[in-house]
Amino acid sequence: MSGAGVTEATVKELCDVAALAVELAKKAGADAAEVLVRDGSELTAKVRLGEPELVQEAGSRALGLRVLKGARRATTYTSDLRRGSLEALCAETVALAELAEPDEFALPPDPALLAKPPLVELDLYDPAVAEVDAAWALREAKTGEAAARRHDKRVTNSDGATWSRVLGATGFATSGGFVGGYRGSYCSLVVEPLCDDTTDPDNPKKRNGYWWTASRFLAQLDVAEAVGIEAARRTVATLGSRKADTQECAIVFDPEVGRSIVGTVFSVANGSSFWRKSSYLIGKEGQEVASKLVTIVDDPLIPRAPGSRPFDGDGLPTRKNVVVDRGVLGPVLCDVYAGRKLGRGSTGSAGRGIGGNPGPTTSNLIMQPGTMSRDQLLRSTPKGLYVTQLMGFGFNPVTGDFSRGAQGFWIEGGELTYPVSEVTIAANFDQILKRIDAVASDLELRSATAAPTFRVSHMTLAGASR
Amino acid sequence: MTTLLPAALRAPFSAGGESAIDAQLASRLLGLALEAGGDYADLYFEFRVAADYALEEEQVRTLGRGITLGLGVRVTKGDATGYAYTEDLDWEKMAHAARTAGQIAMGGGHKPVGVAGMAKVQAPSFYAIATPSLLVPATDKLALLRAADKAARAYDPRIVKVQVSFAESIKEVSLFTSDGRMAHDIQPLIRFGVAAVAEDKGKRQSGSGGGGGRYGMDYFARATRDAAAHGTEAARVAIAMLDAVDAPAGEMMVVLAPGDSGILLHEAVGHGLEADFNRKQTSNYTGQIGKQVASPLCTVVDDGTIAGSRGAINVDDEGFTARNNVLIEHGTLVGYMHDRLSAKHYGVEPSGNGRRESFRAMPLPRMTNTSLLAGTDNPEDIVKSVKRGVYAKRFSGGQVNISNGDFVFSLSESYLIEDGKLTAPLKGVNLIGNGPDVLRKVDMLGSDYEMSDGIWTCGKEGQSVPVNVGTPTVRISAITVGGTQA
């Protein structure tokens, strides 16, 4: 059985429901209303040790409503889209808004700023993804897992392999006159092999690893065998992991973890963190906050990319923004509300969930590649830690203090030597960004937030006592 | 259940509701789910009403409310699971979901399994509340937000930003299984939170406070957890941290304060003892039952029956009653936390740990309220015994790799211990350790057991569930502190 897929008619239907709800809210006494409707379907097929472990298949629909009564606001959500239920919801939301205090900054955007039809076409939907059925997905997962187990005898167990897809459609309407929608697809395969590590016979351990492929387009997925082999290679490489000694040393970030560092930049370079005084970067726009090698761009307009979108959560057209330009902090990403709080315009960066107010968010947030190859970067590193996994939430946006668990490989004389685990890496984030002294050219847009391999000249590694 | 909710908060699938589901209708659906040859099926009906309130810059900024309604259908065949859900309780939609989930059994041996007659699961109530907070006027809750905001600001003029939030929900669940169990539960949950930012001479710091559980507004009646107390606590942490110095790096002695430090336990052993990982032999605690996995001082329990606690449940999401399960007794591993699949695999009674985030997800073995039980040491003596170390008081979260056992937890309030005394506050820092290794290094245990005040949410395979943790004061002889001062 395969899902019917998401058609342009579905998008139109969602837009109609959103526009209807806006009208109903106005009838219920709202001065302004914004309605987001989402329709999604998922298929998840997981295989473990060659046998199906889970097939999950379902669709869902939800509507989120935000109303303004004067400058007072409230938000509600429901999955019940019947007209009578929507009328009741609108009345309740207006009543709720009357309990809030007025907030002039929350008024709807100037209608002149809203995105106008036709919306930019970003090619975000692949009908071939919708064609996939559970049996085919299970076969792909099985192939990936089998390749991992076959690749190396030391792969003794498996956390399974999962093929999944999401199809979604969005309709958004506002009392300012915006009505628009789009559809998207996304599919992925993850393979998670497991090894038994008896390097220390008194303390045997399991070692897990993973590799993955993902795209909006079915044909752009890496083949399942290749994903499985890479997963096996990465997992086996961690056998015999041990702590490194506590010291200051160079830290090289693999793209798999580099993207989380780029995400951390956004958490302190957005308008909301600025007006809430919850960023160490406040007051530093236009100043050097990172090494000259660092340029980070947020670009929602890349065709087929995972984070692309034709309009933002306020209904404004999206645009490319340079967050960090050769080390200099650009204007931070803002939605309409955060922009007003800071006395400026939106950067078209509003995100909006079903049950809440809009806020700044990223689209495709990308650290731009450098010119040297990853190999050159490693070879020019006399010693340090090559980090492949980060753990924990050790970042304080207010102060920039950064301390997280890490796993990876020790670099000695420009070569990866033994695998390392159970260590932390720490420094103030301001220093981390300024100490980036090499950026490789190996950027791949595999996820909405992405980075090439890069190196921080030194951080504190805490591990074994010397 | 004795709690009666007015119609507006009553699930449509409950008796008398517009889509009332009785045992007969449920049995028909289960029959469809098993049509293709599954060996077990269950139906999980969920109705959830949630509301949230936020105050910022001394103003009530947002009020939100939402309703979630749906049915999840699960069918198993051996170790394989088929899962489907619908938000529409029309017969056709429910039947489609049942058949979709049932397809997992296609192609296997077709030995039809009947649906047993339904018997109601009898469970005591650990959160029978007189009035759910959702039925109390919103203005009462806004008054709480203002009281917390005022208290935080009054604590110190250097407090420059305060955010206060209150979230409340009622979740009503009806569960029917093909082996004839029928369970019903109404689960209230509230969470109150305050975040404060302090600013002084160009330095900025943050602090937070909060709590909650399966309570009504009676939660706020106790002085230690009224709205103002949470506001004051957030401000206290933010101000205290203004003087924070760089944390040390490397292995050292660490003392954990009672209560929230239970997060160490949750990460260091809790997840590793969830039986699904052991059934699949992916946990480093696989095959360790009966073995010494912690210091003999350590007895660890997971107890779903603690009245009012955030992790309490009357029945789990597979219809098994909650229990107090001993996991580690005087250092010896004695049991895992089970869901139905793993209990069957190990041939043991289900432990009441099968939980799910919502009707959109299948149940997994999950923790409820996890505790390290009290020891006999005087907590003051424990701090006095440390020549140089770290005293960990508040945490922002933790994470574990269940395969190799490495875990981290992040300290948001901690102090240096020098010659038996707490001295300088330390900047935010992570601790990293290996589960079994760290538990063997627990060498002093206080008599001052405390449960955390209901703020934690646990994530696993993309599903979040409310949990709680508790510990006495704990001394760990050596663990890696991830500061910057090497």
Sheet holding A321-325, edge to edge: A328-329, A321-325, A296-298, A365-367, A449-450
| Structure confidence at residue B453 (pLDDT) | 93
Q: How many domains does chain B have?
A: 2
Looking at chain A from residue 291 to 350, which residues have their Cβ under 8 Å from any Cβ of chain B?
A: none
Whether B1 maps to a domain, the answer reads no
Confidence of residue B108 (pLDDT cuts 50, 70, 90): low
Out of B217, B241, B265, a domain closes at B241
Looking at chain A from residue 227 to 266, which residues have their Cβ under 8 Å from any Cβ of chain B?
A: 241, 243, 246-248
Q: Report yes or no: A100 at the B interface, CB cutoff 8 Å.
A: yes
Whether B265 and B226 map to the same domain: the answer is: no
Q: What is the mean pLDDT of residues A148-154?
A: 97
Whether B285 and B237 map to the same domain: the answer is: no
Q: Please, are residues A313 and A342 in contact by the beta-carbon 8 Å criterion?
A: no
Nearest-by-Cβ selection for B62 from A357, A394, A395 = A357
Confidence of residue B348 (pLDDT cuts 50, 70, 90): very high
Whether B477 and B366 map to the same domain: the answer is: yes
Whether B2 maps to a domain, the answer reads no
Q: What is the mean pLDDT of residues A105-130?
A: 96
Tell me which residue range forms the domain holding B442: 249-482
Nearest-Cα residue of chain A relative to residue B285: A205
Whether B180 maps to a domain, the answer reads yes
pLDDT of residue B301 exceeding 80: yes
Task: Write the CATH number for B236.
Answer: 3.30.2290.10
| Structure confidence at residue B17 (pLDDT) | 86
Q: What is the mean pLDDT of residues A228-242?
A: 97
Whether B88 and B123 map to the same domain: the answer is: yes
Q: Please, are residues B135 and B315 in contact by the beta-carbon 8 Å criterion?
A: no
Model pLDDT for residues B207-232, shown as the tens digit of each residue:
999 999 999 999 999 888 899 999 99
- The answer to whether the Cβ–Cβ distance between B138 and A99 falls below 8 Å is yes
Nearest-Cα residue of chain A relative to residue B293: A203
Model pLDDT for residues B410-437, shown as the tens digit of each residue:
999 999 999 999 999 999 899 999 998 9
Task: Return the number of other C-beta atoms located less than 10 Å from residue B8's C-beta.
Answer: 9
Partners of residue A245 on adjacent β-strands: A464
Whether B137 maps to a domain, the answer reads yes
Nearest-by-Cβ selection for B281 from A157, A356, A428 = A157
The ipTM assigned to this model is 0.94
Sign of the alpha-carbon dihedral angle for B254, B258, B260, B262: positive
Q: How far apart are CA A238 and CA A420, in angstroms?
A: 8
For residue B55, the surrounding DSSP H or E stretch is strand B40-56
Q: What is the mean pLDDT of residues B312-322?
A: 97
Out of B179, B214, B241, a domain closes at B241
Q: How far apart are CA A351 and CA A270, in angstroms?
A: 12
A118 cis-preceded (ω within 30 degrees of 0): yes
Q: How far apart are CA A209 and CA A190, in angstroms?
A: 10
* Three-state secondary-structure class, residue A134: helix
Share of chain B above pLDDT 90, in %: 86
pLDDT of residue B240 exceeding 50: yes
- The answer to whether the Cβ–Cβ distance between A392 and B437 falls below 8 Å is no
Whether B281 and B211 map to the same domain: the answer is: no
| Structure confidence at residue A2 (pLDDT) | 40
| Structure confidence at residue A4 (pLDDT) | 65
Q: What is the mean pLDDT of residues A148-175?
A: 97
Q: Which residues contact B456 (CB under 8 A, 6 or more apart)?
A: B263, B266, B310, B466, B467, B468, B469
pLDDT of residue B145 exceeding 90: yes
Whether B120 maps to a domain, the answer reads yes
Whether B200 and B328 map to the same domain: the answer is: no
Q: What is the mean pLDDT of residues B46-73?
A: 94
Model pLDDT for residues A282-321, shown as the tens digit of each residue:
999 999 999 999 999 999 999 999 999 999 999 999 999 9
pLDDT of residue B9 exceeding 80: no
| Structure confidence at residue A244 (pLDDT) | 97
Whether B319 and B405 map to the same domain: the answer is: yes
Q: How far apart are CA A415 and CA B350, in angstroms?
A: 50
Q: Where are the domains of chain A?
A: 8-235, 241-466
| Structure confidence at residue B106 (pLDDT) | 81
Q: How far apart are CA B305 and CA A189, in angstroms?
A: 40
Give residue A23's Cα distance to chain centre: 34
- The answer to whether the Cβ–Cβ distance between B205 and A407 falls below 8 Å is no
**Min Cα–Cα distance to chain A from B299, Å:** 21
Q: Judging by DSSP bridges, how do beta strands B181-200 and B203-213 pair with one another?
A: antiparallel
**Six-digit token string for A227:** 């994903």
Global pTM value = 0.95
**Min Cα–Cα distance to chain B from A196, Å:** 9
Out of B194, B219, B241, a domain closes at B241
Q: Report yes or no: A441 at the B interface, CB cutoff 8 Å.
A: no
| Structure confidence at residue B7 (pLDDT) | 54
Architecture category of domain A8-235 in CATH: 2-Layer Sandwich (3.30)
Number of residues written out for chain A: 466
- The answer to whether the Cβ–Cβ distance between B404 and A60 falls below 8 Å is no
| Structure confidence at residue B3 (pLDDT) | 31
Model pLDDT for residues B277-289, shown as the tens digit of each residue:
888 999 989 889 9
